[in-house]
Amino acid sequence: MEIPRHRALRSMAIVAVPLLVTAALAFGYHRTERLATPTAAVETSDTTPIVTRTRYDEMIRSYAERYGVDAALVKAVIYAESGFHARVRSRCGARGLMQVMPRTGRAYGARNLYDPRQNLRAGIRHLRHLLDSHDNDPALAVAAYNAGAGAVKAYGGVPPFAETRGYVAKVLRFQRRYQTAAAQAPAPRS
């Protein structure tokens, strides 16, 4: 018995349309856009250039100052987490510039973690909380940002996870480079 042609097409459409919609949604959620324009790069002994000026610099400076966090540390975390791309989402669900988890974002009042202003405010406040919880030690705060405060507490320091140790070293290296870049930057004209 032969299946009528219109039924075969309908059967294919029933299977194909949801797959196409899923693919389109996945592309939309994981789309990254180039939001940081590398207008200047600083090179040190590490050959990887870092983005020194971005469209987010004023927001970063403002929130870092408000919450008492080193702006160079904030930029280092952003560079390590998202490369200054505001529309990124990790496999585990972290979103935006600072790769803030939705639950953490809600705790700090952020509704849209793809909005750079909300993401920076939540991420910097969270970083301030982690610094306060770990005696203002950037290495421990950054380890807690990556692996969770529970892991840092359980191990009494930076957890022995290769990913976390590498992340902490990378962020602290970027922080030093951002501090150097800020010190070398010409004074603003008045």
Q: Which pTM was predicted?
A: 0.75
Question: In which domain, by residue range, is 20 found?
Answer: 1-30
56 with 107, same domain? yes
105 with 149, same domain? yes
67 with 159, same domain? yes
11 with 93, same domain? no
CB 84 within 8 A of CB 35: yes
CB 128 within 8 A of CB 67: yes
Query: For 20-79, what is each residue's pLDDT tens digit?
Result: 444 444 444 333 333 343 434 444 446 567 888 899 999 999 999 999 999 999 999 999
Structural domains in the chain (count):
2
Asked if the structure places residue 134 within a domain, the reply is yes
76 with 156, same domain? yes
Q: Is 41 helix (H, G, I), strand (E, B) or coil?
A: strand
Query: For 105-148, what is each residue's pLDDT tens digit?
Result: 999 999 999 999 999 999 999 999 999 999 999 999 999 999 99
CB 56 within 8 A of CB 84: yes
- Residues designated catalytic: 81
Report the residue count for the chain. Answer: 190
